[in-house]
Amino acid sequence: MKNIFALLTALYICCISLSAQDMFNVRRLTLEYAREGFATWSPDGRYLVYQYTERYDTLGKNGLWKVSRDGTGATQIFNGIAEHARWSPDGSYIVFDADTGNNIKMIPANGGEVIEFLPDSVIIYNGGLPCWSPDGSQIAFVERKAMSLCIFNIKTGELNSIFREEGKLPLPGGWWTDGNSILVALMDLQTRKCTILRISTDGKHKTNIPVQQENFYRHLALSPDGSLLIYAVMTGRYLGLYIMPSAGGRSLPLTVTENSHNEGPVWSPDGKSIAFNSTRFGNNDIWIMDVDTEKIKRELQISQE
C-alpha cells in the first residue's frame, strides 16, 4: 500500500510539474491540510515564520509557526489568527496582522507576550500589511479609515501619515534597501487594478514603476540588493509571479501554474531563495525556489557591475 501511495504521489507531482511554469526547481516546505503561507525569513536565513489557518481549528494550531528552511522542527510561537508576519532586521521580533486583520501586534521571535504598540486611534481592518524599515526603527503600514500609508517610529512613538490618494488603497510591499522610500501597490478601489509606486518616507516624492502586464495585482518583493522586483499578475482567476528590474520594464514569469495561485513571495536574506504560497496541491502551502539571480539579470539585461 505504501508503494502504491508513493507511486501515486510521484505521478501527481509529475503532472503538476508539467502544468507549472517555474523558472527554477521548487520544493514544498509545508504539508499539512490547512492554509499555510505568507512566510518571513529570519535575518540569518536559517528559519521561516509562517501563518497557519484552518477554518475549523479544534487543536489550537492556528497562528504563527517557526520552521527551519529544510521544513523540520516546526514549532508554534503564537496561537490565534495571525497574518502577514515580518521578522525584524535584528531578529528580535515578529510584527503581524492580528485579530483577523483588525490590529497590528508584535511578539518576540521565539514566542512570548504579545505587544500592542499602535495608538487606539489607528484603524486597521482587512490587514495593515506591516513591514520593517531596514534599520528596524520604523514600521510602515496602511491605515484603513483614511486609506493612507503610515509610518510608526518604534523608538519615539511618532506616527506619520505620508501618502493617500482619493479612491485608491496604498498597499505597502516593503522598504527600499536604502530605507528612504517604500514600495507600494496602489490599488484602484473600483477596478481593483494596481500601479507600483516608490514613495519617499517624507511623502514628498513618488516614482511610478512601470509594469509590463495590465492585470498586475500586488505581492511586491524587492531583492536584497535592490535590483529585482517580484510581483503578482492575475491571469483569469489565478495569480502568477513575475520578476523584473526594480526600475520596471520587461518581466519574466517566475512561477505560473495552471488553475492555481502563486503569491506571497519573500526573498531570503542572501538573495538565493524565494519562499512563496502556492495552491498547486489543492490547498495553500509554502514552497521554496532556489534562484540564480545572475541568470535572471542576464536575461533581463540588467547591468551586473
pLDDT bin (cut points 50, 70, 90) of residue 218 is confident
Nearest of 202, 210, 201 to residue 176 by alpha carbon: 201
CA 127 – CA 96 distance, rounded (Å): 9
> What are the domain boundaries of the chain?
2-32+114-299, 33-113
Q: What is the pLDDT of residues 291-304, one digit of tens each?
A: 999 999 999 988 65
pLDDT band, very low/low/confident/very high, at 6 (cuts 50, 70, 90): very low
- Which pLDDT does position 19 carry in this prediction? 53
The pLDDT, as a whole number, for residue 304 is 56
Tell me the CA distances in angstroms from 142 to 139, 151, 184, 204, 213, one per residue in order: 10, 9, 10, 17, 25
CA distances from 55 to 37, 61, 128, 238, 272 (A): 15, 11, 22, 22, 34
pLDDT in the model for residue 17: 44
Check whether 50 has a pLDDT greater than 80: yes
How many other CB atoms are there within 10 angstroms of residue 210's CB atom? 12
Buried b (16+ CB within 10 A) or exposed e, 274-297: bbbbbbbbebbbbbbbebebeebb
Amino acid (one-letter) located at 79: N
pLDDT for the residue numbered 12: 44
Given a cut of 80, is residue 11 above it in pLDDT?
no
| Residue 2 confidence (pLDDT) | 38
34 pLDDT higher than 90 = no
How sure is the predictor about 88, in pLDDT bands with cuts at 50, 70 and 90? very high
Beginning with the edge strand found earlier in the chain, give each strand of the sheet holding 262-267 in spatial order: 26-28, 285-290, 273-278, 262-267
Encoded amino acid at 136, one letter = G
Cβ–Cβ under 8 Å, residues 184 and 205: no
CATH class of the domain defined by 2-32+114-299: mainly beta
What per-residue confidence (pLDDT) applies to 20? 65
pLDDT of residue 7: 41
Grid coordinates standing for 105? 501586534
pLDDT range class, residue 23, cuts 50, 70, 90: very high
pLDDT in tens, 149-189: 999 999 999 999 999 999 999 999 999 999 999 999 999 99
The HSE-up count of residue 290 (CA atoms within 13 Å, CB side) is: 5
pLDDT on residue 5: 36
Return the H-helix or E-strand segment holding 238.
strand 238-245
What is the rounded average pLDDT of the residues 263-268? Answer: 97
**Mean pLDDT for the stretch of residues 69-95:** 96
Span 132-137, mean pLDDT? 98
The pTM assigned to this predicted structure is: 0.91
Residue 269: which of 48, 38, 26, 22 has the closest Cα? 48
Residues 186 and 202 sit within 8 Å (Cβ to Cβ): no
Rounded percentage of the chain residues whose pLDDT exceeds 70 = 92
The helix (H) or strand (E) run that includes residue 256 is strand 252-257
Residue 84 confidence (pLDDT): 97
Q: For residue 91, what are the CA distances in angstroms to 20, 73, 96, 251?
A: 34, 18, 14, 32
pLDDT at site 16: 45
Q: Give pLDDT tens digits for 107-125.
A: 999 999 999 999 999 999 9
Percent of the chain having pLDDT more than 90? Answer: 81
